[in-house]
Amino acid sequence: MVKLRSAQWYAGEDRNAYIHRAWMRRGVPDDAFSGRPQIAIASTASELTPCNAHLTEVAASVRDGVHEAGGIPLNLPVVSLGETQMRPTAMLWRNMAAMATEEMLRANPIDGVVLLGGCDKTIPSLLMAAASVDLPAVVVPGGPMLTGTFRGKPLGCGTDVWRLSEEVRAGTLSQEQFTRSESSMIRSRGHCNTMGTASTMALVAEALGTVVPGIAGTPAPDSRLLEGAHGTGRLVVEMVAAGRRPRTLLTKASFHNAIVALAAIGGSTNAVVHLLAIAGRLGVDLRLDDFDRIGSRVPVLVDLQPAGRFLMEDFHRAGGLRAVLREVRDLLDPDALTVTGRPLLEHLEDAPIWDPEVIRTRSEPLAAEGGIAVLRGSLAPDGALIKPAAASPHLLRHRGRAVVFDSIEDFHARIDDPGLDVDADSVLVLRGCGPKGYPGMPEVSNMPLPRKLLAQGVRDMVRVCDGRMSGTAYGTVVLHVAPEAAAGGPLALATTGDLISLDVEARRIDVEVPADELARRTPNEATVTGFASPGRGWERLYVDHVLQADTGADLDFLVGSSGSEVGRESH
């Protein structure tokens, strides 16, 4: 029988064991402390993270499953990050949430953990924590919301906000109609129902092997989610007995499969920065270029917004992730295991596509080549990303005059100025939005187009930025430029009027300025130092230690693992 970690607290007759047991008793029987795994249910439920507010109910089902399997379930509320509510950007606290969860798991008498997340940053932060503390861990994604409708048409959460607001700016939709659509946008509990970051990270977590296969993508109100949560509660007890920890499961092969899945579902670019950060916690040698090498030739099979038409409820009905992965099973690494202890491939045997309009077959993909392209060049020596499937084909090779903005505030102040010297061929360049510069790398890279160009019917332009973009967004956007301007990247030296060339086929993004001339330029001070003034607290720590996007934007001292052992005891 496996020696439980919690026995370090509860076993024995000494004073410390007495203290640990006595304070936890409160009605539980003697045998709760001898040989029964202590299972934390790390929940990001919060009313300020509306996408995760229902996780309390999901936790109750996990709890039942843990009990049935002989474990002791323990609720552990952890830091929750609500994407739509937090200022200046939820990403500023992904690493903090990961650090806090890791430390709470390590400090407490826990043998295994079920991780409940949903909204964008919550599953990444939970997985980063679990990877660093290396206790048996399994994710239950909270699931997407049901499809809302407005005036008879489905609304894609997030994506349609951008589309409708652009229509207002273009004068084709009234402000009153726009406001009226607000109460139709969020039909039910759950996270955004497009293939945005939340849906992407849930599915990618399953492809990685950290979710019981078949659960990710189950709509939040669907009773099968509770059934899956119940089963996961039982499973985690088995994982503890088997010693099935993140470091025994998650290998380069797991990340390979996650990248194939990311490409085949047409997932969010945000998954790149999150997967790099998780791999960094595990010591898996994952590089930015792996996303291009492994993913860029994988066909996009899922016709979901923002790149396509349907929504997550349709995706689940059509067969879900297992049906997608079955279509590309020859591209998967057969060695990768899952939380069940069995290889991912074994879980794909009975996984038909029920609706080939939503999940395409390999012979009729939505796009022959999907994934995420990694660009390099004189504007991004350490790399930048573009999602070709969400871009306009005619802009994938483009040369245009830069119109440069030093911050998102500068952008908002000038973009609709009728006097702004910009045309449809211009390249909008926004800097000061990287991890250090903003700080927190916000989702602003899909800059709204100038009103005067929208009125002319322009719907896409090449945009370049050192920030991220919402997974629900679309357009020809080059993002995650590294190094960012505030870290001394050449993006800081570009000026309005420079020629910028984008060639996605050649994987290049360049500023056509001779290197010696670029080197002679001096960036303005705010571009280099950032626009906020993080004098103290978390922001200070973050700015001083955050890494660049090409390695996952983790804090330098959080990369790697401390494991679960704690040698000292204060009593």
CB of residue 55 to ligand FES, shortest distance in Å:
12
Phi and psi, residue 390, nearest 5°: -100, 5
Q: Are 549 and 381 in contact (CB under 8 A)?
A: no
Q: Give yes or no for residue 263 binding ligand FES (CB under 6 A).
A: no
CB of residue 141 to ligand FES, shortest distance in Å:
11
CB of residue 218 to ligand FES, shortest distance in Å:
15
List alpha helices for 363-450, DSSP H.
Answer: 408-414
Beta-carbon-side half-sphere exposure of residue 566 (alpha carbons within 13 Å): 19
* Nearer to ligand FES among residue 8 and residue 147 (C-beta): 147
* Nearer to ligand FES among residue 190 and residue 214 (C-beta): 190
* Nearer to ligand FES among residue 144 and residue 450 (C-beta): 144
Site for ligand FES, residues 183 to 242, rule: CB under 6 A = 191-192, 196, 198
Q: Which of 119, 250, 403, 486 binds ligand FES (CB under 6 A)?
A: 119
Beta-carbon-side half-sphere exposure of residue 237 (alpha carbons within 13 Å): 21
Query: What's the rounded Cα separation, in Å, for the pair 148 and 154?
Result: 6
* Nearer to ligand FES among residue 33 and residue 474 (C-beta): 474
The 3-state DSSP class for residue 547 equals: coil
CB of residue 120 to ligand FES, shortest distance in Å:
5
Q: Are 341 and 472 in contact (CB under 8 A)?
A: no
- Nearest residue to 205 via CA among 131, 145, 150: 131
* Nearer to ligand FES among residue 218 and residue 378 (C-beta): 218
Element (H, E) at 156: none
Binding mask 145-164 for ligand FES (x = CB under 6 A): -------------x------
Separation in Å, CA 442 to CA 88, 305, 410, 439, 484: 8, 21, 15, 8, 13
CB of residue 192 to ligand FES, shortest distance in Å:
3
How does DSSP classify residue 35?
Answer: S
CB of residue 553 to ligand FES, shortest distance in Å:
19
Neighbours of 239 (CB within 10 A): 26
CB of residue 393 to ligand FES, shortest distance in Å:
28
Site for ligand FES, residues 491 to 550, rule: CB under 6 A = none
Residue located via tokens 């978390």: 538
CB of residue 439 to ligand FES, shortest distance in Å:
21
* Nearer to ligand FES among residue 337 and residue 479 (C-beta): 479
* Nearer to ligand FES among residue 439 and residue 471 (C-beta): 471
- Nearest residue to 80 via CA among 58, 49, 111, 118: 49
Site for ligand FES, residues 292 to 331, rule: CB under 6 A = none
Q: Are 302 and 219 in contact (CB under 8 A)?
A: no
* Tokens read off for 333: 């690494």
Phi and psi, residue 513, nearest 5°: -130, 130
Q: Give yes or no for residue 51 binding ligand FES (CB under 6 A).
A: yes
- Nearest residue to 478 via CA among 450, 521, 511, 514: 511
Site for ligand FES, residues 450 to 479, rule: CB under 6 A = none
Q: Are 372 and 478 in contact (CB under 8 A)?
A: no
The 3-state DSSP class for residue 6 equals: coil
The answer to whether the Cα torsion of 375, 377, 380, 382 is positive or negative is positive
CB of residue 289 to ligand FES, shortest distance in Å:
28
Categorise residue 501: left if φ over 0, alpha if ψ from -120 to 50, beta otherwise: beta
CB of residue 181 to ligand FES, shortest distance in Å:
16
* Nearer to ligand FES among residue 191 and residue 480 (C-beta): 191
Query: What's the rounded Cα separation, in Å, for the pair 230 and 68?
Result: 9
Site for ligand FES, residues 7 to 26, rule: CB under 6 A = none
Query: What's the rounded Cα separation, in Å, for the pair 282 and 496?
Result: 42
- Nearest residue to 36 via CA among 64, 63, 12, 71: 71
* Nearer to ligand FES among residue 55 and residue 415 (C-beta): 55
CB of residue 196 to ligand FES, shortest distance in Å:
6
Q: How many Å is the Cα radius of gyration of the chain?
A: 24
* Nearer to ligand FES among residue 312 and residue 453 (C-beta): 312
Separation in Å, CA 439 to CA 321, 399, 481, 552: 34, 30, 15, 15
* Nearer to ligand FES among residue 84 and residue 188 (C-beta): 84
CB of residue 252 to ligand FES, shortest distance in Å:
29
Q: Are 530 and 438 in contact (CB under 8 A)?
A: yes
* Nearer to ligand FES among residue 445 and residue 564 (C-beta): 445
* Nearer to ligand FES among residue 117 and residue 295 (C-beta): 117
CB of residue 118 to ligand FES, shortest distance in Å:
7
Separation in Å, CA 560 to CA 277, 309, 350: 10, 40, 37
Q: What are the E-state strand segments in 437-491?
A: 462-465, 477-482
Query: What's the rounded Cα separation, in Å, for the pair 179 and 139?
Result: 36
* Nearer to ligand FES among residue 245 and residue 274 (C-beta): 274
Site size toward ligand FES (CB under 6 A) is 10
Site for ligand FES, residues 78 to 117, rule: CB under 6 A = 83-84
Q: Give yes or no for residue 120 binding ligand FES (CB under 6 A).
A: yes
CB of residue 383 to ligand FES, shortest distance in Å:
26
By CB under 6 A, name the binding residues for ligand FES.
Answer: 51, 83-84, 119-120, 158, 191-192, 196, 198
